[in-house]
Amino acid sequence: VQNVLWLVENSDPHEALSLDDLHTLHGGTGGVHLLGELKTILADLGRQAQDDLETQVSEFPRWRALTHFTTVIHITFSDGNKRRDLVKQVFYAALSVLKCQVSSEGYRLLHVIRSYLQLDSLIGLDVHTERTLEMIDAEFLVYDAALKVFCLSFH
């Protein structure tokens, strides 16, 4: 089927149908919603859990091309790239804080964040093959299941 947009330079309709991971994932799902849930759970756990996470984040090793943070709880910004970096660091920092015996909700959230980060890594690849698309589909099912389990903890 011919499309008039194919005649206009830089207006491929297939490009318009692609996922904008900066806004959808980093500036939305992970950077706003998952971090927001994490902050809520930490607030419920109290000051010690918050302090423990802050310590873990501030001691997180520096990686090239990754913004380093010293705080999580009282930080706000709108840069999706920084939110992406923060979710990566928070996941590893929270592993020692949100143990199953300490917070079942926090532990379930870590499962969601782990799958989210895997999806983000796969979606962010520059080239997708049939195999990587299959991996995305499979991981999305894992993410969906983890998210449903997490949401059920509130009902």
**Would you state the pLDDT for residue 3?**
64
Q: Is the pTM of this model over 0.85?
A: no
How far is Cα 139 from Cα 52, in angstroms, rounded to an integer? 30
Question: The tokens of 127 are what?
Answer: 């080239």
**Would you state the pLDDT for residue 19?**
62
Asked if 103 and 41 touch (Cβ cutoff 8 Å), the reply is: yes
Spell out the per-residue pLDDT of the chain, length 155, in tens. Answer: 566 666 677 666 666 556 665 555 555 566 668 888 999 999 999 999 999 999 998 998 888 888 888 888 877 777 777 778 888 889 999 999 999 999 999 999 999 999 999 998 898 888 989 999 999 999 999 999 999 999 987 65
Spans of all domains in the chain: 20-152
**Would you state the pLDDT for residue 52?**
94
Q: Is 65 left (phi over 0), alpha (psi -120 to 50) or beta?
A: left
